[in-house]
Every structure is written in C-alpha cells, then in structure tokens.
Amino acid sequence: MQHRFIATSIPYMNAGPHMGHAMEFIIADILARYNRSSGNDVFFLTGADEHGSKIYNKAKELGKSTQEMLDEHVALFQELGTALATTPDDFIRTTDRVRHWPTAQAIWRKLEAKGDIYKKKYSGLYCEGCEVFLPEKDLDNEGNCPIHHKKPTLLEEENYFFSLSKYEDQLKKLITNDTIRITPEFRKNEILSFLGEGLNDISFSRSADKMPWGIPVPGDETQVMYVWCDALTNYLSGIGYSFDQNKFTKYYPTYLHVIGKDISRFHAIIYMAMLLSADMETSKNILVHGFVTSGGEKMSKSLGNVVIPEDIMKTYGSDALRYFITVGGGGVGDDIDYTPTGFHNHYNSGLVNGLGNIANRTSTLFCKYYPNGSDTDGFILDEGIDGVIISAYTLYKESLEAFDLRAGYVAVSTLIDLANKYFDEEKPWTIKDDPGKLRDILLNLVEILYHINILVAPYLPRTAEKMREIFSLTDSRLQDFSLDAGFRLTAGNKIMRLTTIPLLFEKIS
C-alpha cells in the first residue's frame, strides 16, 4: 500500500462553476477512486481560492459582503462535486484562518529566512481577470491579455518579490529527468521551453490599500500575500502542514496535481520553486488537462456557447458526463469538444447499447433460466475469456498509472465488447435444451460482467453501484471494488445467484 495525495487546483471563486471545473473534478476523482481500489491510501483534496481584488470588487458590485458572496460560490462548487459523485477527503478554503492562513504565513517565513523574499518598487502590466502581472511578450498583437481580451492596467507599487530566477537551473534538471513528471509530454516540453527563455523574479505581495482582501504578510500588514504564497500553499494546509504533522508526514509529498493547461506554469514552476526554497521535496506528478470547448470554440458568454454541467446531468445523469469527459477527447491533455449531437451519440453507443445492453441481457436471461440460482460445480472459465480478462486488467492498470483515462476505459470496453459479441455468437436463448452448455455460457457471461463492474467503478460510480445489485453478493471482492486480476467470481461461489435490475441507461431519442 502506498500513501497517495491527489489534489485538484483550487478554482477561483469570482463566479460559479463551469464545464472546465467539472472536467477537472471528474479526472481527479477517477484517479482517486482507481488508487483506492488498487489498495492505496488516498487523500483527495479540492478547495477554493478566495482572495484577490477581483473577488473584492465583484462583491461590491453585487452589493454583498465579500464573505457572503464567497460562501454562495463555494456552496455551488461543493454541490457540483456532490452531483458528479466525486469523493474528496477535504475541501480547503483559503479564507480558513485556522488551517490555511497559518500555513501560508509559515511558508512565507521559510522563504524569507532563506533570503528569497525582498522588497522593491515595481511597475508592471496587471490583468485583473488573471490576477497576474503580464510581460509584454505575453500580450496579443493589440496589447491585450490573450485570455480576457482586455488591456492590462499599468500599476506601480512597492511589493515583496520572490527570487524565482534563483531556481531556474534546478527546475530544468528536475523536470527534464522526471523527478517532477509533467504529463502529457508536450506540456512538459512547453514548460522546459519557457524555462529556456529565462525566469524573472515575481511579485509576491500587493499593497493592502490596493488589494484589501487577502492574507497579511507576516510582519508587514501594509501588504497582503499575492496569489502564489496564498493559493498555492493550499496543497500544504489541506494535509495539515500547520496543524496535523502526522497527517502531513503521511501524505507529503504530493503524488499528483490535476490542473488546467492555463495554469501549468504556476504549478510546475512557481510552486515547485517555492518548495525548493522551503527545503521541501517537490511534487511527484503534474497532470495538465485541456479545456472543454463548445463546437470547436472556447466557451464564452459573449458567444452564447456556454454549457452548464447541471443541465447535462438533468437529462443524462452524472455518469454520462463522467463518461464523456473520459472518452470524448483524443490523447491525454487534449481539449474535449462538446456538441449536443456528439454527447448524445457517445451516450447511446457507449452506455445504452454497450454497457447497459450487456448488463441487462445477461442478468435477464440468467434469472429467467435460473430464478433460484445455478450451481458452479465443474465449471471452468473459457480459456480465451480468461486471457482477455487478464489482458484487460494489465492495460487498465498501465493506463491509469500513466493517467491515461481514455486508454483505461478502452480496457473496460474490451470486456464490454467481448461480452456482447460472445452473447450474440453463442445465442444462449436458443440452447435451453442443452442445460450444461447453457449454464456454462451464462456463467462465462456472468464472470465477464463481474469484471466489467469492477473496472468501470472509478469511471461510473453510480452505475457500478447499480450493477453490483445484479450479483446479490455480500462476501466477494465486489464489496469494495478492489482490483484483482486473478479473482474469479465463478470459482469463489458454489451457487451463483443474480437479480434483475432496471435498465442502467434509458435510451434518449
């Protein structure tokens, strides 16, 4: 058993959740569930980034207190996580003065003691939408922020700075040799290319009169911490850095960060440099995902193409959205393009006609012929089926250890396709006059269905719970969905009993 700390980035609380947040929650939850079913001790963290001028100004615009607005937004994100059946062990808020503030301030002091924080006057182009200072080379041809399409504001302040440039060579080495493993490879290459251009020291605080909503800088309350030492230290406060040393020792360093491509530099460069400055071990893995686009365009209110996760789930259910995020794109880290037709086709072909079809056909036919159960005496699982099950587990584990969720689901699909093909070829409904052959065919199908149930559980947890009812089991590995390529349900139960259940997925026209 390994102790594995998995964390999403923490969404910025200036608005409610969108499809990109749903995507990140789903990816992280699948990997957390997979690790638990593999026998690992997992701590899965998400949370909320709640400080900054944009949040403060938005609350004033709405006529609400900043905390009141934040509480409303946080509730929306937590509701989305629940609707998606995600399983975080904790939700850390950067406004948490008991757990997070002491952590952020303790890390500041460590960096300061190292000589890596200093004060200077600074003039720079500040994008309030990004909450970052942007170098001119990162602006578009019209001098706008490439994300928010607005000109940044020229600000001149005296701030504290972090000596990021000091860690440039060390970061290059750690990322090149995969001590910090960035997935996919092309994102790793982007980070190395950025490092190759040279790092500049970064502003680490803002004047409290310009950004009053933040964590005070230790020893200087005229300044508040900028996003880096504030929000990025959530990965430390979330596992007890300042208040539970046993938990922190158990789960640190971070096994996996799941983050969006737009913030990969912040995590792979700034946060890793902060850890090095604090003489702490860097994170092991950074998984960089793409965006959910809409009809080939980035989702935007101005374009009218924003897709609301809750609207999809009202029609199709949460597992359908989890399935689409898994199989709807290309390679690891690529964007996933949503269209109503594309989503609908994935749902019908993969879930209704694939998984739902074989679960229904197998359980219905078995219960028809064996309403009181069937003995398994003398049954030997078909050798070819046995081999495919073993191969599926191998592909599944290799894929998910590499964070390739799509390839992992291919392993599940291999068993779904095998079962549907075997059912169609053997035609068990036509051989009721040969009870021995009929029993063996149905037991082969039951064994495949059992392993489909095990492997699909991290991806489609609510569907897996429904499927589990088919087997009417109380003493099998199915109880905790533990992965075991060598376990055979038909070998471990003298009497096999199944139960019919409602359709897993209703066909939607």
> What's the 3-state SS for 151-180?
CCEEEEEEEEEECHHHHHHHHHHHHHCCCC
- Does pLDDT of 212 surpass 80? yes
Rounded-to-integer distance, Cα 420 and Cα 403, Å: 28
- Does pLDDT of 253 surpass 80? yes
**Listed range (141-150, 277-286, 345-354) with the worst mean pLDDT:** 141-150
User: pLDDT band at 188, cuts 50/70/90?
Assistant: very high
Quick one: pLDDT at residue 222? 95
Rounded-to-integer distance, Cα 502 and Cα 356, Å: 10
Read off the pLDDT of residues 312-361 as tens digits, 9 standing for 90 and up.
999 999 999 999 999 998 889 999 999 999 999 999 999 999 999 999 99
Q: How many CA atoms lie within 13 A of 116 on its CB side?
A: 25
Q: Indicate the domain borders of the chain.
A: 3-290, 339-496
Read off the pLDDT of residues 29-82 as tens digits, 9 standing for 90 and up.
999 999 999 999 999 999 999 998 889 999 999 999 999 999 999 999 999 999
Phi and psi for 335 in degrees, rounded to 5? Answer: -65, 155
Rounded-to-integer distance, Cα 325 and Cα 212, Å: 38
Identify whether the C-beta of residue 227 lies closer than 8 Å to the C-beta of residue 49.
Answer: yes
Q: Say how far residue 411 (Cα) sits from the centre of its chain.
A: 20
> What's the 3-state SS for 114-146?
CCCEEEEEEEEEEECCCCEEECHHHCCCCCCCC
Report, as an integer, the average pLDDT of 266-286: 98
- Does pLDDT of 131 surpass 70? no
How many C-beta atoms lie closer than 10 Å to residue 507's C-beta? 11
User: Exposed, middle or buried: residue 89 (CB in 10 Å: 0-12, 13-18, 19+)?
Assistant: middle
Quick one: pLDDT at residue 134? 79
The C-alpha angle 140, 18, 70, rounded to 5 degrees, equals 100
Classify 3-290 by CATH class. alpha beta
Q: What CA–CA distances, in Å, run from 322 to 343, 459, 503? A: 11, 7, 18
Three-class secondary structure of residue 391 per DSSP: helix
Rounded-to-integer distance, Cα 493 and Cα 476, Å: 9
- Does pLDDT of 475 surpass 70? no
Quick one: pLDDT at residue 232? 97
User: pLDDT band at 397, cuts 50/70/90?
Assistant: very high
Per the CATH hierarchy, to which homologous superfamily does domain 339-496 belong? Isoleucyl-tRNA Synthetase; Domain 1 (1.10.730.10)
- Does pLDDT of 302 surpass 70? no
Residue 256 is inside which H or E element, if any? strand 256-260
Three-class secondary structure of residue 81 per DSSP: helix
- Does pLDDT of 391 surpass 90? yes
- Does pLDDT of 438 surpass 90? yes
Three-class secondary structure of residue 251 per DSSP: helix
Residue 326 is inside which H or E element, if any? helix 318-327
User: Exposed, middle or buried: residue 10 (CB in 10 Å: 0-12, 13-18, 19+)?
Assistant: buried
Phi and psi for 497 in degrees, rounded to 5? Answer: -120, 135
Residues labelled catalytic: 18, 21, 127, 130, 145, 148, 298, 301
Read off the pLDDT of residues 81-108 as tens digits, 9 standing for 90 and up.
999 999 999 999 999 999 999 999 999 9
User: Exposed, middle or buried: residue 480 (CB in 10 Å: 0-12, 13-18, 19+)?
Assistant: exposed
Rounded-to-integer distance, Cα 52 and Cα 224, Å: 9
Rounded-to-integer distance, Cα 43 and Cα 236, Å: 12
Average pLDDT, the chain: 94
Quick one: pLDDT at residue 211? 86
Q: How many CA atoms lie within 13 A of 432 on its CB side?
A: 7
Report, as an integer, the average pLDDT of 352-379: 96
424 Cβ contact list (under 8 Å, min separation 6): none
User: Exposed, middle or buried: residue 235 (CB in 10 Å: 0-12, 13-18, 19+)?
Assistant: buried
- Which residue from 125, 193, 507 is spatially nearest to 348, judged by alpha carbons? 507
- Residue given tokens 């990816």 in the structure block: 27
Report the phi/psi class of residue 265: left, alpha or beta, with left for phi > 0 and alpha for psi in -120 to 50. alpha
Three-class secondary structure of residue 147 per DSSP: coil
- Does pLDDT of 474 surpass 80? no
Quick one: pLDDT at residue 141? 81
Residue percentage of the chain with pLDDT more than 90: 83
Range from 167-181, 195-209, 290-304 that averages highest in pLDDT: 167-181
Identify whether the C-beta of residue 446 lies closer than 8 Å to the C-beta of residue 362.
Answer: yes
Identify whether the C-beta of residue 192 lies closer than 8 Å to the C-beta of residue 172.
Answer: yes
Identify whether the C-beta of residue 8 lies closer than 8 Å to the C-beta of residue 55.
Answer: no
